[in-house]
Amino acid sequence: MRPSWKTGVSFGLTSGVITTLGLMVGLHSGTHSRAVVIGGILTIAVADAMSDALGIHVSEESKNSGPSKQIWEATLATFLAKFVIALTFVVPVLLRPLDQAVVLSVIWGLLLLAGLSFFVARAQAISPWKVIGEHLLIAVFVVAISHAVGDWVQVLVNTE
């Protein structure tokens, strides 16, 4: 895979998983609303994918080290990866009760992140378990904090 596509796909997949899971878990714990969770996922899929793609674009431009074509490839790959990955989280929300859908989404996201981490470690010729463990620990931390923030917001809203 070309380095520009590798940059975009790895960033987009990671951001798609972490951001979408954090948002889903936070919105679920704060609202318990299927419509709100789906709206959040769709917002991530569009607005945050565009934002991340622009971020990669500017970051790559600031390096001033590659041709314009490679910068645009990384931009497009980031957008597509984030967009597609985020949309995959809508499926369980549409097909299962919301509580189950969130659990399934967390499992799905952790599997995606573990798979990417495995390939990253293999490409660097290092033990995949350390890389997988590190990345999954960060993801679980994001999910836990997002859940706590959602609970906190629910308490704040219900006391007004």
Q: What element of type H or E holds 114?
A: helix 98-123
Average pLDDT of the residues in 124-142: 94
pLDDT of residue 113: 97
Residue 114's contacts (CB-CB under 8 Å, 6 or more residues apart) are 132, 135, 136
* The pLDDT of residue 159: 79
The predicted-structure confidence for 110-121, as pLDDT tens digits, reads as follows 999 999 999 999
The model's pTM: 0.91
Q: Give the whole-angstrom CA distance, residue 53 versus residue 76.
A: 7
Specify whether the CB–CB gap between 37 and 98 falls below 8 A. Answer: yes
Name the domain count of the chain: 1
- Give φ, ψ of 59 to 5 degrees: -60, -45
Confidence of residue 42 (pLDDT cuts 50, 70, 90): very high
pLDDT at 21: 97
What is the residue range of 89's domain?
3-158
- In the chain, pLDDT over 90 holds for what percent of residues? 84
Residue 160 is predicted with a pLDDT of 64
pLDDT at 64: 81
